[in-house]
Amino acid sequence: MPMPSFDAIVIGGGTNGLACAARLQKSGRRVLVLESGAEPGGAALGREFAPGYRAPGLAHLVTTIDARVEREMDLGRHGLSYAGLSLPSTLVAPDGDHLLLEGEAGERVAGLSEAERLAWSELRGQLMRFAGVLAPFKEMTPPRIAAGAGNEYMKLGKLGFGIRRLGKDDFREFLRMLLINVYDVLNDDLTDPRLKGILAHDAVLGTWLGPRSPNSLIHLLNRLAGQVAGRRAAVALPKGGMGAVASAMAKAAEAQGVTIRTGARVAAILVEDDRAVGVTLADGEELRAKTVVSAINPKTTFLSLVGPRHLDTGFVNRVRAMKSRGGAAKLHLALKGAPDFRGADLRTRLVLAPSETAVELSFNAVKYGEVPERPVMEVILPSAHEGGHAPDGHHILSAIVQFAPHAPKAGPDVARQEMLARSLAVLEDHAPGLRALVEHAELLMPYDIEARYGMVGGNWHHGELSVEQMLFLRPFAGTSQYATPLSDLWLAGAGCHPGGGISGAAGWNAAERIIRGTGR
């Protein structure tokens, strides 16, 4: 039977690929998604890492899902629901004097002094206002600073108006704080090291920056600008594990009519006459379509699938220079009992970051390709929320551990062992007896994440989401609007604006841009 022909091929069945495919299909195109894995979902996919234990994959929480994706793919109807949308956070103090943050972005904090509570409330309000005016950026093609670049001037005007409407004082503060470091902001207004610790931790999560690095506050704003099911600054846990998001998106896409082929690894993008005309699979099969969309890593797309000979040298230089250092490791522990974080509620997000300085110190080492003495981490116990993740009475602990070197001087194996030992030591300090509960441990260093998920350098965003790689500079200066130098080849992955997470925003934006760009 001949393969049905498709209008568009989307490479990569992660959340961005699925969102892009669904939106393109909706526009009347016949879309084929090619996923190299056994099921779609990419980094949002859970998996069994030890007999009876299901690890949540790379991501273990949802901090943002693009509202258009939620709505138009109707993810709820396709089985997505949440154990919580604003999971409380506990800053786990080694002495048991924890801090509990509840509501949107720590609206309510238990354990603070009155003065500190007021100071935080004021700072939080300001950050939420700033995040609020920046949020719409995520849902649009980034502008180019050029005349006739097809910018969405209406949306931009509205955005600019929103920023200007902050009021004179806030507007000035916005301009002052846009590129500031989070450390100074925290220390200007707050005194409690626990509060500063969790905020600094959240700001640099998934980045290659310390809290003292200029340009780090914007990451906290980006996080606060996220939403899930209408909840701002969400910290959401899907029911049935992280895989639920991807599986709902896959079902939604298929319901839309998208064809998803798994186990289909793309080896090359076919270029004829300076146009992308299809792909070649690893087994040699050729698939052709009018439009090819790469929802995988931009570096991989150009350097491997397209190849330098179809591209200009300066462009290849920019692709190669795109920074993609991953600084986070992923830890999975199979526990034969419930750990005790000195009384902290295991159904909260547990943050082990005693102070902003501790976060900075953990960053120091990775600058030199070394493993930090005392990593900081974000811990989730999916098994504390619902069954099905671990055998009864047992638990699965998932932690994002920062910072981990992406290219350790000591070599990958030594560094992994060192990182695991130090992570366990930090956990043991916060939850005495935890080590004795460990039945199985798995630590994915950034280079392991690269190998498993194809994220170059192990960076979650498929390229650091740093200021000099944001907006019109993402993924590369001059190549920011999902289009590529090759006609009919588009980008839709996290390497594009607005970056990673499992929100699907990049994929949706890309689809909108493709539809607009080709006038259909």
DSSP percent split of the chain into helix, strand, coil, nearest 5: 40, 20, 40
Whichever of 145 and 425 has its CB closer to another protein, that residue is 145
Whichever of 95 and 368 has its CB closer to another protein, that residue is 368
Q: Taking the complex as a whole, how short is the minimal distance between the CB of residue 131 and another protein, in angstroms? A: 18
Q: Taking the complex as a whole, how short is the minimal distance between the CB of residue 81 and another protein, in angstroms? A: 40
Please give the order of strands across the beta sheet that includes 99-102: 108-110, 99-102, 89-91, 349-352, 376-380, 395-402, 328-335, 438-444
Q: Taking the complex as a whole, how short is the minimal distance between the CB of residue 168 and another protein, in angstroms? A: 5
Q: Taking the complex as a whole, how short is the minimal distance between the CB of residue 266 and another protein, in angstroms? A: 18
Tokens read off for 400: 């994002």
Q: Is the distance from CB of 507 to CB of 492 less than 8 angstroms?
A: yes
SS (H, E, C) 337-349: CCCCCCCCCCCCE
Whichever of 453 and 472 has its CB closer to another protein, that residue is 472
Whichever of 103 and 478 has its CB closer to another protein, that residue is 478
The backbone torsions φ and ψ at residue 249, rounded to the nearest 5 degrees and listed phi first, read: -70, -40
The H or E element spanning position 505 is helix 505-517
SS (H, E, C) 452-490: HHCCHHHCCCCCCCCHHHCHHHCCECCECCCECCCECEE
Alpha carbons within 13 angstroms on the beta-carbon side of residue 177 total: 24
Q: Is the distance from CB of 333 to CB of 440 less than 8 angstroms?
A: yes
* Residue whose structure tokens are 């990673």: 500
Whichever of 1 and 147 has its CB closer to another protein, that residue is 147
Q: Taking the complex as a whole, how short is the minimal distance between the CB of residue 352 and another protein, in angstroms? A: 21
CA dist 134 and 113 (Å) reads 31
Q: Taking the complex as a whole, how short is the minimal distance between the CB of residue 114 and another protein, in angstroms? A: 19
Cis peptide before 475, with omega less than 30 degrees from 0?
A: yes
Whichever of 38 and 179 has its CB closer to another protein, that residue is 179
Whichever of 207 and 503 has its CB closer to another protein, that residue is 207
Q: Taking the complex as a whole, how short is the minimal distance between the CB of residue 327 and another protein, in angstroms? A: 12
Q: Taking the complex as a whole, how short is the minimal distance between the CB of residue 286 and another protein, in angstroms? A: 19
Residues that bind another protein (CB under 8 A): 144-146, 149, 168-169, 171-173, 175-181, 184, 188, 209, 212-215, 274, 303, 307-317, 320-321, 323, 360, 364, 367-368, 466-468, 472-473, 477-478, 485
Whichever of 129 and 310 has its CB closer to another protein, that residue is 310
CA dist 138 and 312 (Å) reads 29
Through-space distance between the first and last CA atoms of the chain, rounded to whole angstroms: 30
Q: Taking the complex as a whole, how short is the minimal distance between the CB of residue 29 and another protein, in angstroms? A: 25
CA dist 394 and 447 (Å) reads 29
215 Rama sector, left if φ>0, alpha if ψ -120 to 50, beta otherwise: left
Tokens read off for 324: 């993609």
At a CB cut-off of 8 Å and minimum separation 6, what does 519 contact? none
Whichever of 438 and 477 has its CB closer to another protein, that residue is 477
Whichever of 368 and 519 has its CB closer to another protein, that residue is 368
CA dist 484 and 480 (Å) reads 8
